Amino acid sequence: MEETQQTTHIVILPSPGMGHLIPFIELAKRLVHLHDFSITFIIPNTNGSSSKAQKVVLDALPKRINSIFLPPVDLDDLDDEDEVKVETHIFLTMFRSIPSLRKIFKDLITATRVVTLVVDQFGTDAFDVAREFNVLPYIFIPTAAMMVSWFFLLPKFDAIYSCEYRDLPEPVTMPGCIPVHGRDFADPAQDRKNEAYKWILHHSKRYRLAEGVIVNTFIDLEPRTIKAMKEGKVPGMPPIYPVGPLTQDGANCESDQYCLRWLDDQPHGSVLFLSFGSGGALSLEQMTELALGLELSEQRFLWVVRNPSQLAVNTGYIHGGQSTDEDPFPFLPKVMLVEDSKVALRLKVGENGVIGRREIARVMKNLMQGEEGKKVRHKMRELKEAAAMVLREDGSCTQSLLEVTQIWKRHMIV
């Protein structure tokens, strides 16, 4: 404990789910490696135990990164489990974990030099705890800067429009972003009477209480959006710090090693990777269509298959990179990837809400062999090179992370 008492200490509060935990872990490792912090993860949960995957990841962290699991919260009062969106479960878990968080915070403040609390988009209720202990509250958004703009502007949209967003006749505009149709808003915002939307709106109104917003993106990926934010064109937005790309490196289990060995035997750039995150699953009908579409496409593929669950994912996009982060807001960033960054192709969803096998095969062939696919892969190579540049010692994202960490260290002195 002597080391942590002399070191700037950061508390990280991710939402439940591996897809929320992994980006935070990569941020934490960078903070420890580059800036000599000590870090404590405080992890809310609903069942009192971490998953096997979480344990594997947490056990492999550097010694200066510790973790504490909060007691499980009671969600038995939810009326109808089938009608409650997964986001509502997350929101309530975070909100009802606040009393336990406050107790742990009190102990940490006594034993360490905590200066900063970092939460994700679901954790703003913890800002009150941070302020009680004179700790700086920050938000970390593991997805696109465009998503950050949407969060900050949602209260404005809510005040302006009375109809459902999907019924808006024209796209909405956000500073530095491509116009977005209401039907492409985040899924929880498609039903404004649902509790999930009310919770999103609640958190969106609290984002301006943060001292800053850390985003897993970089200037070459979203130049206009980041520029607009830094110029103050998004009302109420605190300073923004693009620190990405944060990516998970290395395999964690035997199955990962098997898959990597198989990939090593395939021609370069010849494999489609499909994953819908740790919290996502396809309906049985969509899974069947996807399997048949893969067969029709005659392309090599690696598919992370999960059982059907409450969350059915029909995002309708195939992109030229690989991502295993679950995304509770799947549409907006992917619209940006298709229409702005030009690194994805969009599939057409059928009238029944299912993407058909022939459409899947068509787009997969196009991505791997067609002219559009060539452009996507070329753009991905350009962004890969740009990402390597921004992560160099003198790169923009390394300097952005340095800027925010200097603020934290100065707060420790005060």
CB 139 within 8 A of CB 214: yes
40 and 89 belong to one structural domain: yes
Type of residue at 231: E
* One domain for residues 28 and 177: yes
- Whether residue 171 sits in one domain with residue 103: yes
113-119 and 8-13: which strand pairing?
A: parallel
DSSP at 185? S
Q: Which residues are catalytic?
A: 20, 120
Q: How many domains does the chain have?
A: 2
277 and 347 in one domain? Answer: yes
Q: Are 13 and 62 part of one and the same domain?
A: yes
Domain match, 345 and 403 both: no
Please check whether residues 133 and 166 belong to one and the same domain: yes
Q: Does residue 48 share a domain with residue 188?
A: yes
Range(s) of the domain holding residue 396:
2-245+391-413
Q: How far apart are CA 153 and CA 89, in angstroms?
A: 24
Contacts of 105 (CB under 8 A, 6+ apart): 11, 114, 129, 130, 132, 133, 135
CB 359 within 8 A of CB 365: no
Neighbours of 390 (CB within 10 A): 22
Are both 71 and 176 inside the same structural domain? Answer: yes
- Token pair in block for residue 184: 């492409």
Same domain, 184 and 227: yes
Give pLDDT tens digits along the chain (414 positions). 445 457 899 999 999 888 889 899 999 999 999 999 999 999 987 665 556 677 778 888 999 999 998 998 888 887 665 467 788 889 999 999 999 999 999 999 999 999 999 999 999 999 999 999 999 999 999 988 999 999 999 999 999 999 999 999 999 999 999 999 999 898 889 999 999 999 999 999 999 999 999 999 999 999 999 999 999 999 999 999 999 998 876 555 555 678 888 999 999 889 998 877 655 567 889 889 999 999 999 999 998 876 544 333 333 444 443 333 334 344 456 777 888 888 888 888 898 889 999 999 999 999 999 999 999 989 989 999 999 999 999 999 999 999 999 999 999 876
Structure tokens at 264: 């090593």
* 280 in the same domain as 201: no
Q: How do residues 234-277 score in pLDDT, each as one tens digit?
A: 999 999 999 999 887 655 555 567 888 899 999 988 999 887 76
Residues 199 and 263 in one domain: no
Residue 278, number of CB atoms within 10 A of its CB: 20
Q: Number of helices and strands (H, E) in the chain? A: 15, 11
Q: Give the CATH number, domain containing residue 273.
A: 3.40.50.2000
Q: What is the pTM of this model?
A: 0.86
Residue with tokens 């970092």, as numbered in its chain: 118
Q: Provide the pLDDT for residue 232.
A: 95
pLDDT of residue 77: 83
**Cβ of 265: how many Cβ atoms within 10 Å?**
6
